[in-house]
Amino acid sequence: MKNKIIIISGDPNSINSEIIYKSWKNLNKHKRKNIFVISNYLLLKKQFSILKYPIKLVKIRDINDNFFKDGLKILDVQLKFKNPFKVPYKSSSVFIKKTFSLGHKLALMENVKGIINCPIDKKLLKKKNYGITEYLASMCKIRDGSEAMLIKGKNFSVLPITTHIRVKDVAKKINFKLIVKKVLTLDSWFKSTYKRRPKIGILGLNPHNAELNKNSEECKIIIPVVKSLKKKGFKITGPLVSDTVFINDYKNYDVIVGMYHDQVLSPFKTIFKFDAINITLGIKYLRLSPDHGVAKNIIKKKIANHNSLSRCIEFLNNLK
């Protein structure tokens, strides 16, 4: 039975301990017993102490032990530090890789629903153009670009075809096969999770869809993709015009697919704020994360919004 949820504590120099505590506090006892946090036990203990959060931590070795005392269960990963909110860059990078390695291993277990990683500074991965989506796809040995990043709200989601690359490189990156792979991954996950095909709206790349000039990416790539997928039964429409679709028309779709990161994430976050989660599709397990960054500017201020992490936990708890 899949009932366990693994939380990777993420970047030690962040608001992560705050959002973990706030999310944990809002869970009932039944849901708390299936939550396991991969972190450094002493780090979290000191961070919670500084934040004056009354929470009991329990250091464990195995999520399959039959008995646990009450408290937040910590799978301890080694980390050297002096100041718990100013861990050196090199130590943080090694720590992140160790926690994700353990998280990846646990996520493959039959009784784990999925993993949630708290935010990290992507520089800690030390890989160019890599976010967690690409990082975990690599760990799962998926190299064909079929993994996809879905930003999901309650009733509406967005998905970028390209993620952590410069805008000037987007037109070079997108092609017929890549877009089809991402849409196939999206469609497959949606059918598996919700037992129906999603209504997909796909955006053009250029302003006003380049007036559908015959040499544009819209005419050469995106329109052929839409025609091909429609013939196969996909519920897909496009190319839609990106400067107006988020005024109201997005409500006609389950998912809007864009060509690059900020084309869809900027308007989505403007509309839905923190009421969303990040889901990696197309890898060997379900991985989620809060849809925000490490927020170093508000560390220790106790004003961090935990809603996105809570949504991640809620989503996994509601999966059957």
pLDDT tens string 115-130: 999 999 988 887 766 7
Predicted pLDDT of residue 7: 98
Say if residue 248's pLDDT is above 90. yes
**DSSP H or E segment with residue 148:** strand 148-152
Each residue of 275-287: pLDDT tens digit?
A: 899 999 999 999 9
Give the separation between CA 242 and CA 257, rounded to whole angstroms.
Answer: 10
Q: Which two tokens stand for residue 221?
A: 């790539």
Give the predicted TM-score (pTM) of the model: 0.92
Predicted pLDDT of residue 132: 87
Rounded-to-5 percentages of helix, strand, coil across the chain: 40, 20, 40
Each residue of 215-239: pLDDT tens digit?
A: 999 999 999 999 999 999 999 999 9
Q: Which two tokens stand for residue 288?
A: 């989620």
Each residue of 91-104: pLDDT tens digit?
A: 999 999 999 999 99
Q: Is 217 helix (H, G, I), strand (E, B) or coil?
A: helix
Predicted pLDDT of residue 128: 66
| Of the candidate ranges 67-71, 218-222, 288-292, 295-299, the one whose mean pLDDT is the lowest | 67-71
Predicted pLDDT of residue 134: 87
- Domain map (residue ranges) of the chain: 1-142+283-320, 145-278
Each residue of 11-40: pLDDT tens digit?
A: 999 999 999 999 999 999 889 999 999 999
Say if residue 69's pLDDT is above 70. no
Predicted pLDDT of residue 151: 96
Predicted pLDDT of residue 133: 87
Say if residue 269's pLDDT is above 70. yes
Sign of CA dihedral 234, 312, 79, 129: positive
Q: How confident is the model at residue 210 (pLDDT cuts 50, 70, 90)?
A: confident
Q: What is the mean pLDDT of the chain?
A: 93
Q: Which two tokens stand for residue 17?
A: 């301990």
Give the separation between CA 181 and CA 178, rounded to whole angstroms.
Answer: 5
Give the separation between CA 54 and CA 262, rounded to whole angstroms.
Answer: 39
Q: Own/partner pairs for 261-265, CB < 8 Å, 24+ apart?
A: 261/160, 261/162, 261/163, 261/164, 261/165, 262/167, 263/160, 263/203, 264/151, 264/158, 264/159, 264/160, 264/203, 265/151, 265/158, 265/160
Q: What's 220's DSSP letter?
A: I
Q: Do 145-278 and 1-142+283-320 have the same topology in CATH?
A: yes
User: Which residue type, as a one-letter code, is found at position 162?
Assistant: T
Predicted pLDDT of residue 211: 87
Each residue of 302-316: pLDDT tens digit?
A: 999 999 999 999 999
Q: Is 115 helix (H, G, I), strand (E, B) or coil?
A: strand
Q: Where are the alpha helices (DSSP H) in 108-220?
A: 132-139, 170-173, 176-194, 217
1-142+283-320 folds as Isopropylmalate Dehydrogenase (3.40.718)
Q: Please tell me the CATH code under which domain 145-278 is placed.
A: 3.40.718.10
Q: Is 117 helix (H, G, I), strand (E, B) or coil?
A: strand
